[in-house]
Amino acid sequence: MEFLLRDKREGCQLPAGGDDSHVTAESLPAGPTTRSFLPDKRPDGRMRLRLMSGRASRGGNGDDSETSKPEGGLRMEEIVQVWLLHPITGKLAGAAALVLAILVGVRLIKKSLSRYVEDSELRYRLRKTVNVVGAIVALIGLTGIFSVRFSQFTVAFGVAGAGVAFALQEVIASVAGWLAVSFGKFYRPGDRIQLGGIKGDVIDVGVLRTTLMECGQWVNADLYNGRIVRIANSFVFKEPVFNYSGDFPFLWDEIMVPIKYGSDYRLARRILERVGEEVVGDYARAAEEAWRQVAFKYMIEHATVKPTVSLIANQNWLEYTLRYVVDYKLRRATKDRLFSRILEEIDQVADRVGIAAATLNIEKLAPLEVKLTGMAANPAS
């Protein structure tokens, strides 16, 4: 059964007749645009009307000059109008405008900070704070825009979220590591750490990665080698984090000085103690206060931070060890100063103290007999 409708704005109404007879355009006045609907049964048993359109008109002989023609789909203008008037389109436009405004605002603020803040550490922290605040504002804004629409897809989002979490578990672990680093005070920019087998100074802590200026490798001691390394934050859950400058920004270090047998060992000890106090005495006093704070915070025993000298006598020489605390960035420079001053002091008392060296001394040889044998000389011819 086909139902033929005409636009009410043109003063037309649905023709009467509830039987199964076919209602055509001939039963309506000619001229206006007509729309017809064919009944179509859904799988659930309900009926729906399939749209037909055309123009009904009468010729002079009573025949239709146009018959109803089915529409294959909506016209382009109608599709555009439907999308423009759809509620989700407005939400998407609002979300895009919000994100764009936040990005522009964050960039302008960071440019202003680079221009007006001279302290590099303060400027770095302020820029990180602006990034975090911008992300929070964007998240809150997007949640407010789509909150009603999201609530209708709770189950679908739950299933999709589980799949995404499995596929991006390393990324999620890195984000969790960033939260642990930020709030757990594992390390911060400027600290010297060892993470994932890499040692260096932290120059940036991102959401996914920590950036280090690497130390060591083919360069001896704790000097930069020029490589910048980015390590996933997830390593804070997988491997130990060694912090050289956390609560106690000093390191214990020591040097060994060999003194040969026969030297004045008491004078040698006094020389090492005097040089140690001269070179690293200031570090010891600063480290003592820092160690007191560490002992108050943690359950740890008291440790000696003053320079100390110990002696071991082995089969080759007298081995003196000078143990001291030093700034974690000045280990190599401090060793250079210590050895230079020790050699200067020993040179002044060279007749009483001498530096030992690995040499081989032959004191006595066993008797050596040499026998020469050969052919007898031929007589002259």
Q: Which of 73, 95, 121 is the last residue before a domain boundary?
A: 73
Question: What is the spatial distance between Cα 243 and Cα 229, in angstroms, rounded to a whole number?
Answer: 17
The closest of 253, 236, 332 to 287, measured between CA atoms, is: 253
Q: Which residue has the higher pLDDT, 373 or 350?
A: 350
Q: Whole-number mean pLDDT of the chain? A: 75
pLDDT at 127 exceeding the cut of 70: yes
Q: What is the pLDDT of residue 64?
A: 45
Q: Is 153 exposed, middle or buried (0-12, 13-18, 19+ CB in 10 A)?
A: exposed
Residue 266 in any domain: the answer is yes
Are 153 and 188 members of one domain? no
Question: What is the spatial distance between Cα 2 and Cα 84, in angstroms, rounded to a whole number?
Answer: 32
Looking at residue 96, its amino acid is A
Q: What is the pLDDT of residues 210-246, one digit of tens each?
A: 999 998 888 877 788 889 999 989 899 988 999 988 8
Residue 62 in any domain: the answer is yes
- CA 266 and chain centroid, separation: 55
Residue 290 in any domain: the answer is yes
Q: What is the pLDDT of residue 255?
A: 92
Q: What is the pLDDT of residues 283-295, one digit of tens each?
A: 888 888 888 888 8
Kind of pairing between the strands at 3-6 and 33-41: antiparallel
Q: What is the pLDDT of residues 129-138, one digit of tens each?
A: 788 888 888 8
Q: What angle do CA 212, 215, 217 make, to 5 degrees?
A: 120
The residues, any chain, with a CB within 8 Å of residue 155's CB and separated by 6 or more, are none
Residue 39 in any domain: the answer is yes
DSSP state of 152: G
pLDDT at 270 exceeding the cut of 90: yes
Q: What is the pLDDT of residues 69-82, one digit of tens each?
A: 444 455 777 676 66
- CA 323 and chain centroid, separation: 38
Are 28 and 105 members of one domain? no
Question: What is the spatial distance between Cα 173 and Cα 234, in angstroms, rounded to a whole number?
Answer: 5
Are 180 and 232 members of one domain? yes
pLDDT at 126 exceeding the cut of 80: no
The residue behind tokens 């302020």 is 126
Counting the structural domains of the chain, the total is 4
Looking at residue 168, its amino acid is L
- Domain of residue 213, residue span: 176-243
Cβ 59 vs Cβ 65: under 8 Å: yes
The 3-state secondary structure of 81-124, one letter per residue: HHHHHCHHHHHHHHHHHHHHHHHHHHHHHHHHHHHHCCCHHHHH
Are 109 and 55 members of one domain? no
Residue 18 in any domain: the answer is yes
Are 49 and 135 members of one domain? no
Q: What is the pLDDT of residues 16-55, one digit of tens each?
A: 444 444 444 444 444 444 444 445 555 555 544 444 444 4
Residue 211 in any domain: the answer is yes
Q: Which of 135, 167, 199 is the last residue before a domain boundary?
A: 167
Question: What is the spatial distance between Cα 29 and Cα 360, in angstroms, rounded to a whole number?
Answer: 129
Are 327 and 263 members of one domain? yes
Are 183 and 162 members of one domain? no
Token pair listed for 66 = 């146009």
Looking at residue 339, its amino acid is F
Residue 369 in any domain: the answer is no
Are 163 and 186 members of one domain? no
Are 254 and 287 members of one domain? yes
Torsion sign (Cα): 15, 16, 18, 21:
negative
What CATH number corresponds to the domain at position 196?
2.30.30.60
Are 192 and 158 members of one domain? no
Are 254 and 298 members of one domain? yes
E strands, 224-295, where?
Answer: 224-232, 242-243, 250-259
Q: What is the pLDDT of residue 74?
A: 55
Question: What is the spatial distance between Cα 95 and Cα 87, in angstroms, rounded to a whole number?
Answer: 13
Q: What is the pLDDT of residues 328-339, one digit of tens each?
A: 888 888 999 999
Range of weakest confidence among 230-234, 254-258, 274-278, 354-358: 354-358
First to last CA, the chain: 152
Q: What is the pLDDT of residue 63?
A: 46
Are 288 and 321 members of one domain? yes
Q: What is the pLDDT of residue 147?
A: 67
- CA 349 and chain centroid, separation: 57
Q: What is the pLDDT of residues 132-165, one digit of tens each?
A: 888 888 888 877 777 655 555 566 667 666 776 6
Q: Which of 54, 73, 92 is the last residue before a domain boundary?
A: 73
Q: What is the pLDDT of residue 66?
A: 44
Residue 377 in any domain: the answer is no
Residue 376: band (very low, low, confident or very high) from pLDDT cuts 50, 70, 90: low
Question: What is the spatial distance between Cα 203 and Cα 211, in angstroms, rounded to a whole number?
Answer: 6
